[in-house]
Every structure is written in structure tokens, then in C-alpha cells.
Chains A and B, each alone.
Chain A
């Protein structure tokens, strides 16, 4: 069993690796340019070129993939000739990359228009010193150059004479005054816990995706808390009396609710509850960064939509499983040996009938993820699905990759969990 689980875990990691490569290749082959996307229609070709370089897009594909996966700070350290450190210092809101000087101070450099290259020295206690760079080094052609870390997490090559004097955007945010000769964005790599910076928002992907995941999980968990008891009950009752009016209406109801696409049922619910009855808000737009459960009213319609779409599926599964069990020989035996009806149903039928739906539902998580993306999009709910959709439309590769990894891990992981649960529920099955 342990061996089986281990093998499946390896398979899962392999799948994730393949998916990440595929996503990289597909987005590479795709038309359109992220740098152009960020800067807009009116940027000059030089600006776009600079932006591409600052994003690291000018490097070969395999280098970029390796950087994304395992990081490049260990490689770039050699250029700067000082260890690089990703840390947050007193008085700053976000962690950044710094070069660690031999004397223990953290350093960054910035090219200012009239003052030349300025060195920022941050001591451990948060005090800051400025100095003009004097220790330029000579390259092969005898020109003075300097490798350093800029204030937007790049390793930069500056040239004393003939620095490119133009405006560029750093990581999609600030406009810098002058620019260096070459840029390498510093990355820690996904395997070391850093999915990179979103080119769409200019913010680190990691924290955003965690927050979005929390929102999506809240939505899914609440919906599931409604779906499971209701659907299992309906399915069992319907399956118990195959062909009865209750069975017919449950089957028809579940067929219709599962067939209606999520966006359509969402729209119907908005129209009924928010527009005509004016009972609930029709969108789930969150002010500030509050957690979704802090304003339950906003959650009602998204949860209801998801419940409507999923409930029929679970009910149908349960019904089919119940019918199968009720026709099984051991149920007939139980009746024939004179067990009370109630006892046959609860002790023999229900327990066996619940086995199939519970595992099938785990396999259904793929479908559920799709449903959540659409529901989030209908209600403007800030979950992982919306994040993925927005990122995909923007070609925000770091965000897409991170989201894809989460989704694949979820989908493949739940299948593994489903298989394992199934062996416990059904001891006849053994995986080796």
C-alpha cells in the first residue's frame, strides 16, 4: 500500500512537471507580447525591448524554465560577486533581494539621472547610507562596468559611459530614471517556494494565490456542506423506490439542474433573488481584503449556484448505486430471512450504497474546479478561478503556472485520496 501511494505521488509530481513544461511551451508559442501588454499601445519599441529584458524574456526558453523551477540567485551571485539575500528590512513593506556585502550590510544600487550610480547600504538595524559607486570594474574592452542589484529585484549590469538613458518600467510598477545594460530578474524558483511575480499586477504570486485559494475553498466547502447531505438523502430515497413519483421527480430535477450551465443558473438566481425579490446582493465584490465569511450575504448566491449544479450529479450517482445495491442478492437474502425492512435498509443497503458516490465525488473534483471558475466569474468572486482567468487573458505566465500547479495537484491528489479511501471502504480491492 505504502509503495502504491509512493508510486502515485511520484506520478503526480511527474504530471505536474510535464504540465509546467507544457504550459511554458504553449505560452511561448502563443502570439502577443507580455511586455507590450504591460506597457500598453503607446510604448516605443525600445521601451518594450527594455521591459522584455527586465522580465527576463530575452533569455532562451530553457534558461527561463530552469530559473522558474529552481531559481537563479545562485547563478547570479557570481556576477555580483556577493551573496544575494531575499529578506525584508525594517521600514519596508515587502521583502526584496539585496546583495550582502562582506561587512554585513545589505546593498542595492540605483542609477540616478544626474548623480550617477548610487549605492544604498542598509545596516541590520534599519539605518540607511548612500554612497556614489566608485569601484567600477573594467570589462574586456576596457570600459567601466558594474554588476549590482537594483531596487526591483534584478541583477543589473551598469556601464559608466553611455548608459541607456530612457524611461522604462520596473516590474510593471515604477518608472526608473536610467537603465542598465543588462537585466536578470532574480528568482528563487518554484521548488524553493517562490512562484515569481505576476506580470499583470506586479505583485508576488505566492501570497495572492494563497488568499485566492482560501476564498475558493471557503466557497467550495460551504457548498459541499449543503450538497452532500441533501444529495445523498435524495439519491437514497429515489433509489429505494425506483420508478416511484419521488424517483421520477428527483431524477428529472437533478438532470435539469446539472444540465443547465453554471453561468446560466447563476444568472437566473441573480435575476430572481437580487433583481426581482431584492433579497441578496447580486455580486460578490469584496471591499478591502476581508475574508469571505465575514460577509455571509455575499456568499449566498455563489454557494446556491454551485449547490444547484452539483447536487444533481451526486444525487444521480447515489440513486444509481442504491438501485444496484437494492437488486443485489444479499439484500434479497436479508429480506427473505425475515429481517425487518428498516434494518435491511440501514444496516445492509445504505452503507454499501454510499460507497460508490463518495469515491466518485472525489473523482468529480475536476468538474467542480471548472464550476467554481465559472461561478466566480459570474459573481465577480475573488477566488483562484477568477485569478486564473484574468491571468490567462493577460498571459501572466507566472500566475498561470502557479495556478496550474495548484489545480493539477488538487485534481491528481484527490484522485489518489479517492483510491486510498476506496480500499478502506472496500477491503476486496488491494493495490500493489
Chain B
């Protein structure tokens, strides 16, 4: 047992990473905003002054008042409460879809990189084709075909994101495959899946984790865009992108109705990017 003040083991690694973040003011600012939204999402039921779905026909498109602090939307729903609950939607869906795309991408990348040959060629050509064409087109076709819902948003983002992950994991696998411990495992006669998941994957986890963190920002961006295009969550669910798209029609009577959700999603995406960028910059500087 260590008696020094600093935590040991994995805790220490986390601490070192965090101290890198705090060295950069920009990354710290990003982290603070992210934490703010996470807390808002967790304590949504306590923080929200109203039911996000409750409609008040006397408050349609109302400007901010003491009752509705940020105003009310076109159905007389409290914008503040919808913003607060909207953070839950996006903070749940974004990591979930990143997790799915990382899982699918990792599997494909491991298989392609480890087995090589024809399997690799086929998998990579298909993924190249998917990556070659416009993301927005994929979203449009997928969502238009299967209809907007939370599950479909996750599916669409997984589909679009997985090829990138697969490429990364494949290149990592190609490198790790040549190491001695892999050859040792192969000589022992281990199952290829044992080697892929218990020998290669743990040694490739660093870049994969960093890549996934960058992907969360992009996923939030995409979920917002899908919501705005009417391809996101079905209407009553509070969803920032969807809120902007419905408030956009009433921008002349209720300009604040569109401003708040736009600020919310911008702050979250910017914060995530500031955090990731600061982390990257500081960690390369001190290497």
C-alpha cells in the first residue's frame, strides 16, 4: 500500500490526465461547461420548474416572464424545462451511439486487421465505399427509410461512424499483430477471438479511447443536425435540434425560442471540442 498522497494505479492515471486538463485554461473551460450540462441532465427533475410536455395555451410564444424564465414555445411549453430535459436526451444518445459505433468498428477492424487477406479486402472496400459518400446522404436515406426515432438515430450514427473506427483499429491491429506476445499466443494455440479481444484489444485501447472521446462531440453535432432536419426524435420529446427547427418557424414572434436551444447545443459542442483540443495539445506539449 502506498502512503503518498497521490492515488495509485488507474486512479493515478486519471489524475495525471486531469492535471493536464487544468494546465490549459481553454480545456478547463470546456470541462466546466461539460460538467455543467451533465449535472443539469442528472438533476433535471429537480431543476426543471415545469413539466417539459405540459402545454399552457395562455402562454403561447410568450416572452420570458417570472413564470416562464426563458419564455414559452409555440405550444405554450416552458422552454427552460425543455432545455433541461433536452440535455438528458442528447447526453444519453450521444455516448450510446458512440459506444455502438466503437463496438461495431472495433469488431470489424480487429477481424480485418488480424485475419487479413480476402476478408480484410472485402471489409475494407465496403467501409471505403461507405466513407466515400456524403454523411448527410447516409443520414437522409437511413432515417427516411426507417423513420425518425431514438433507436434509428443511434443506428444512423453507428453506421456512419463505424468505418472510421474500423480503419483506426485495423491499423493498430496490423501493428500489434507482429509483436512477440501475439506470436506466443498463436504458438500456444489460442483461439483467434481470444487473441483479438484479450491480447490485441487491451493493447490498442489508448488511441481507441481518445478517438471515442472526439467522436462524442461529433455525435452531439449529428444528433442536433438530425433533430433540426426533422429526422431526430419524434416531436413531443424535448430535443434541442428539434426545438430549434420548430421554433425557427416562429422566429419573428418569438426570437428567444430559437436562441436558447441554439446556445445550449453550441455551448455543449464547443465545450467538448475545447476540452478535446486542449487535452491533445497539452499532452503533446509535455511528452
Q: How far is the CB of A386 from chain B (nearest CB, A)?
A: 10
Using a CB-CB cutoff of 8 Å, which residues 93-130 of chain A contact chain B?
Answer: none
Q: Which residue of A lies closest to B129 (CB)?
A: A15
- Contact segment of B109-117, B181-189, B195-203, B263-271: B263-271
Q: Which residue of A lies closest to B145 (CB)?
A: A30
Given contacts A259-B266, A267-B262, A392-B144, contact A374 B228 (CB under 8 A): yes
Using a CB-CB cutoff of 8 Å, which residues 165-184 of chain A contact chain B?
Answer: none
Q: Per-residue CB proximity of A1-37 to B under 8 Å, as 1/0?
A: 0000000000000010011001100110111100000
B145 touching A260, Cβ below 8 Å = no
Q: How far is the CB of B152 from chain A (nearest CB, A)?
A: 11
Chain B contact patch, size range = 35 or more
B229 touching A377, Cβ below 8 Å = yes
Interface presence of A282 (CB below 8 A): yes
Q: How far is the CB of A395 from chain B (nearest CB, A)?
A: 6
Using a CB-CB cutoff of 8 Å, which residues 121-157 of chain B contact chain A?
Answer: 129, 132-137, 140-147
Separation of A264 and B267 alpha carbons in the complex (Å): 10
A264 touching B141, Cβ below 8 Å = no
B225 touching A268, Cβ below 8 Å = no
Q: How far is the CB of A233 from chain B (nearest CB, A)?
A: 22
B134, B229, B230, B270: the one within 8 Å of A260 (CB): B270
Separation of A32 and B132 alpha carbons in the complex (Å): 29
Q: Per-residue CB proximity of B210-232 to A under 8 Å, as 1/0?
A: 00000001000100110011100
Chain B contacts of A410 at CB under 8 A? 134
Interface presence of B177 (CB below 8 A): no
Chain A contacts of B103 at CB under 8 A? none
- Contact segment of B13-21, B40-48, B251-259: B251-259
Given contacts A373-B136, A389-B140, contact A29 B145 (CB under 8 A): yes
Interface presence of B241 (CB below 8 A): yes
Chain A contacts of B147 at CB under 8 A? 30-32
- Contact segment of A142-150, A345-353, A362-370: A362-370
Q: Which residue of A lies closest to B245 (CB)?
A: A263
Interface presence of B273 (CB below 8 A): yes
Interface presence of B174 (CB below 8 A): no
Separation of A98 and B214 alpha carbons in the complex (Å): 58
Separation of A26 and B137 alpha carbons in the complex (Å): 13
Q: How far is the CB of A67 from chain B (nearest CB, A)?
A: 20
Q: Per-residue CB proximity of B28-66 to A under 8 Å, as 1/0?
A: 000000000000000000000000000000000000000
Q: Which 9 A-B pairs have the closest CB atoms?
A: A392-B144, A370-B136, A30-B145, A264-B262, A392-B140, A259-B273, A263-B228, A369-B134, A26-B145
Point out residues on B near A: beta carbons under 8 Å: 26, 129, 132-137, 140-147, 217, 221, 224-225, 228-230, 241, 244-245, 248, 251-252, 255, 258-259, 262-263, 265-266, 269-270, 272-274, 277
Q: List 20 A-B contacts (CB under 8 A).
A: A15-B133, A26-B142, A29-B145, A30-B144, A30-B145, A30-B147, A31-B147, A259-B270, A261-B221, A275-B251, A282-B252, A373-B140, A374-B136, A374-B228, A377-B229, A392-B143, A400-B140, A403-B137, A408-B137, A411-B134
